[in-house]
């Protein structure tokens, strides 16, 4: 048994594939380190660390030990001369498969409006929830029967723009890596015909369809109660009145984008469903055309749940135009896309729920319509994507833990940025036909699963020291000791916007501003759109 001190050496606690780059991050100026067989205690390889660097984001000096040369499968640990030891990890070709499935299965656990049966959910089962029709705020007594979809986060709100981002990530993962989804998940709809990732996305897409206003074609912004429920309230116990908030341009743009995308993806499997998605996307686009300028969404006075406010809607329109053009080939969508691309009013490479421009760029570049495309525009967008990827790789090369976040980017949901950046790096490589950025993307995976300054795996249920107390009401209220598995924690947040973080993390550096406690929603909440880019990235490596 290993009795040496643990904590000063950060590794990917899942492990490494044989031929991948393998790096241990060691606090302080070290020198020699060794790779030890965790079972026999035998030293199988040793070497010198790279020159130590002062890492601004983590606030410590980091020495990196490169043991990429060792490829033999087994279970190992890293040790240093001063008695430090890492957590054990494996070298194996199948190191990411189980985590990949759990990250996807997490969306099943986020499902609203249906019973999660023990047969499929295990001990994390619960009864059906939130089945009552929702009041349309400001139009009572009008109601909409918008059951279903995914709970957005650690609470039970459901939001169109973040939901569209999450579904888009999963659909993109399917388009890029269909072979990654051949292993079946325990889901009630599994039929051996439609891959489980498409079953899961459809559950959210059907809810999104219910969120389209039948009269105007616009998409309602969100569906929540007036206030958040208590921290240990189970979904079926959250029985307060549900409210649908007014239409927003950002929600409608995201709705149009993801529905046009779904129409394309589902067409080979279910022509009727695909056609309904396309009709919905076109109606939403018509709403956008009728409302070229629309005020950003703000919560009504009585509603204090997540706002997801966003004053800029050009990026959502840009994405919608790109997807509609890619799916239909209609020149009017192409013209709208070109016009929006030329305005330069938004970032065309971001992949966040508030900054959807990257999805429009990716869709256009992946459309396969080279003869019809604007060659100059496509070349500019591709060059910009490659430049952004190169910038991320440069930051990664200078970071003590090998990732592309600058100190000021450790914000609420920093792990979304970590995975979004890895996703962008992989797509940039895919579109250029190069593997240049693959290693850099993989460093982001290592970070997520433990190669970080807090020495934790940011995914529940995975690693020697995983997240145990996420800000997630079902995990808090279900009486099960372990949290729902496969949930990505938000991660370090220098903003420290909750009371626990302000009190206990006041003196922490940006990358160390994290607490594995339910109370710290600003660092340890979970959401569907933090899981979704992680599914995309691991799909590449399985």
176-213 pLDDT per residue, tens: 999 999 998 989 998 877 889 999 999 999 999 999 99
Encode pLDDT of 472-511 as tens digits: 999 999 999 999 999 999 999 999 999 999 999 999 999 9
Q: Are residues 164 and 291 in the same domain?
A: yes
**Pick the catalytic residue: 152, 155, 196, 310?**
155
- State the average pLDDT over residues 95-122: 98
Kindly report the average pLDDT of the chain as a whole number.
96
Q: How many helices (H) and strands (E) does the chain have?
A: 16, 16
444: in domain: yes
In a domain, 369, yes or no: yes
Instruction: Tell whether 105 is covered by a domain.
Output: no
Instruction: Examine the fold and report which residue of 278, 311, 344 is the final residue of a domain before the chain moves on.
Output: 311
Shared domain check, 382 and 252:
no
| Residue 2: predicted pLDDT | 37
Both 55 and 42 in one domain: the answer is yes
Helix (H) or strand (E) holding 323: helix 314-328
Please indicate, yes or no, whether residues 367 and 449 belong to a single structural domain of this protein.
Answer: no
Which among 152, 169, 476, 525 is annotated as catalytic?
525
Write out pLDDT tens, residues 229-264.
Answer: 999 999 999 999 999 999 999 999 999 999 999 999
β-bridge mates for residue 111, sequence order: 150
Q: 259 and 282 share a domain?
A: yes
Considering the domain architecture, whether residues 280 and 425 belong to the same structural domain is answered as no
Q: What is the pLDDT of residue 3?
A: 35
Last residue within a domain, chosen from 282, 311, 340 = 311
Q: What is the pLDDT of residue 7?
A: 57
Q: Are residues 422 and 504 in the same domain?
A: yes
- Select which of 471, 472, 476, 478 is catalytic: 471
307 and 320 belong to one structural domain: no
Q: 290 and 210, same structural domain?
A: yes
Among candidate residues 101, 74, 65, the one with its CA nearest the CA of residue 16:
74
Residue 415, in any domain of the structure? yes
Residue 330 falls in the annotated catalytic set: no
Active site residue 236: no
Alpha-carbon distance of 434 to 426, in angstroms, equals 9
Average pLDDT over residues 513-537: 98
Same-domain pairing of 380 and 496? no
Counting the structural domains of the chain, the total is: 4
Residues 327 and 378 in one domain: yes
**pLDDT at residue number 415:** 98
Confidence band of 371 (pLDDT split at 50, 70, 90): confident
pLDDT at 533 over 80: yes
> Quick check: is 516 catalytic?
yes
Tokens of 43: 């030293």
At 282, list the tokens.
């076109």
- Taken in order 357, 362, 367, 372, the sign of the CA dihedral is positive
pLDDT value of residue 190: 85
Q: Are residues 47 and 177 in the same domain?
A: no
In a domain, 519, yes or no: yes
Instruction: Give the span between the Cα atoms of 220 and 74, in whole angstroms.
Output: 52
The answer to the question of residue 489 being in a domain is yes
- 516: exposed, middle or buried (C-beta count within 10 Å: 0-12, 13-18, 19+)? middle
Does residue 127 have a pLDDT over 90? yes
| Annotation marks residue 525 as catalytic | yes
- Residues 318 and 314: their CA atoms lie apart, in Å, by 6
pLDDT tens, residue by residue, 304-336: 999 999 999 999 999 999 999 999 999 999 999
**Number of CB atoms found within 10 A of residue 507's CB:** 8
What pLDDT is stored for residue 4 in this prediction?
42
458, part of any domain: yes
CATH number at residue 231: 1.50.10.10
Strand (E) or helix (H) holding 244: strand 243-244
- pLDDT tens digits for 417-436? 999 999 999 999 999 998 98
Q: Is the dihedral of CA 229, 230, 235, 237 positive or negative?
A: negative
Please say which residue of 311, 331, 359 terminates a domain: 311
Query: From the candidates 206, 438, 516, 519, which is the catalytic residue?
Result: 516
- For residue 466, the enclosing domain spans 400-542
Mean pLDDT, residues 41-66 = 96
Whether 120 maps to a domain, the answer reads: no
Share of residues in the chain with pLDDT > 70 (%): 99
């Amino acid at each position: 048994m290993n009795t040496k001190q643990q904590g000063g050496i950060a590794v990917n606690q899942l492990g490494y594939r044989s031929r991948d780059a393998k790096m241990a991050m060691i606090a302080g100026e070290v020198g020699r380190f060794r790779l030890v067989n965790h079972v026999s205690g035998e030293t199988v390889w040793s070497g010198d660390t790279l020159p130590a660097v002062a890492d601004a984001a983590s606030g410590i000096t980091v020495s990196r030990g490169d043991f990429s040369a060792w490829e033999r499968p087994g279970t190992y640990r890293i040790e240093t001369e001063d008695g430090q030891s890492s957590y054990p990890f494996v070298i194996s070709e199948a190191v990411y498969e189980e985590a990949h499935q759990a990250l996807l299965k997490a969306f099943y656990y986020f499902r609203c409006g249906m019973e999660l049966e023990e047969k499929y959910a295990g001990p994390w089962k619960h009864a059906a929830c939130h089945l009552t029709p929702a009041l349309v705020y400001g139009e009572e007594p009008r109601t909409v029967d918008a059951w279903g979809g995914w709970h957005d986060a650690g609470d039970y709100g459901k939001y169109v723009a973040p939901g569209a981002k999450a579904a888009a990530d999963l659909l993109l993962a399917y388009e890029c890596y269909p072979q990654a989804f051949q292993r079946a998940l325990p889901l009630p709809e599994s039929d051996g015909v439609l891959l489980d990732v498409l079953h899961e996305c459809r559950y959210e897409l059907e809810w999104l369809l219910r969120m389209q206003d039948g009269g105007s074609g616009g998409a309602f912004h969100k569906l929540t109660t007036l206030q958040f429920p208590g921290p240990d309230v189970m979904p079926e116990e959250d029985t307060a009145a549900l409210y649908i908030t007014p239409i927003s341009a950002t929600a409608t743009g995201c709705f149009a984008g993801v529905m046009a995308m779904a129409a394309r993806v589902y067409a080979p499997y279910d022509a009727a469903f695909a056609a309904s998605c396309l009709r919905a996307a076109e109606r939403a686009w018509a709403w956008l055309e009728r409302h070229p300028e629309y005020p950003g969404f703000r919560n009504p006075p009585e509603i204090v749940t997540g706002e997801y406010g966003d004053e800029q809607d050009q990026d959502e329109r840009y994405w919608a135009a790109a997807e509609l053009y890619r799916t239909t080939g209609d020149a009017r969508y192409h013209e709208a896309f070109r016009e929006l691309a030329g305005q330069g009013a938004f970032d065309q490479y971001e992949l966040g729920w508030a900054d959807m421009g990257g999805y429009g760029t990716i869709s256009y570049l992946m459309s396969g319509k080279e003869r019809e495309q604007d060659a100059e525009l496509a070349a500019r967008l591709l060059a910009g994507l490659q430049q952004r990827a190169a910038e991320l790789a440069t930051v990664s090369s200078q970071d003590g833990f090998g990732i592309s976040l600058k100190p000021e980017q450790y914000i609420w949901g920093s792990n979304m940025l970590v995975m979004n950046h890895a996703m962008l790096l992989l797509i940039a490589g895919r579109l250029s036909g190069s593997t240049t950025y693959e290693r850099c993307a993989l460093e982001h995976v290592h970070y997520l699963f433990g190669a970080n300054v807090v020495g934790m795996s940011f995914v529940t249920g995975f690693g020697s020291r995983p997240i145990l107390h996420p800000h997630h009401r079902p995990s808090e209220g279900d009486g099960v000791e372990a949290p729902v598995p496969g949930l990505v924690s938000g991660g370090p947040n220098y903003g420290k916007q909750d009371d626990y973080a302000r009190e206990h993390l006041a003196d922490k550096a940006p990358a160390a501003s994290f607490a594995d406690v339910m109370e710290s929603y600003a660092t340890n909440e979970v959401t569907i759109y933090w899981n979704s880019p992680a599914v995309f990235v691991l799909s590449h490596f399985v």
